[in-house]
Structures are given as structure tokens and as C-alpha cells.
Amino acid sequence: MLPEWVLQALPSLRAPSVTMLAQLELEEAQRSLLAAQSGYEYAKRVADYHQDRIDRLTQFLKAQANKGAL
């Protein structure tokens, strides 16, 4: 018979079950989704910032052109 410490260590040496692998993969997919959503939110805000700058500068230039046309 094997020593008790070997018997206690055996379960940790077994390959994980299919269910455990699926659970681990699901958790990884959820983490990846959260990371992607965070990146999307950041990129959207940066794009909105630049669009606002373009709109503001375009309005300024139009106003300047109208002043010069008077």
C-alpha cells in the first residue's frame, strides 16, 4: 500500500475533468470580454474627444471666415 501522503497528493496530479476545463475556459472568456469592453470604452471616448475637437475647430474657422466676409 502507498503511504498516506502519496494518496493525498494523487488527486492534485490527475488531469482536470472536462467540466473543470470548461469552467476555467468560461472564466477566461469572461475576463477577455471585460478587457475588450474596457478597451472599447476607452477608444470610443478618445474618438469622441477628437470628434468634439474637429467640430469645435470647424465652427471656429467658419465663424472666422464669416467675420472676414463682412
Residue with more model confidence, 21 or 68: 21
> Is the distance from CB of 16 to CB of 24 less than 8 angstroms?
yes
Question: What does pTM read for this prediction?
Answer: 0.63
Domain edges within the chain: 41-70
| C-alpha of 11 from chain center | 35
Please tell me the least confidently modeled range out of 11-20, 41-50, 54-63. Answer: 11-20
Cell of 17: 475533468
- The stretch 28-55 carries a mean pLDDT of 98
pLDDT of 70: 64
pLDDT at 69 over 80: no
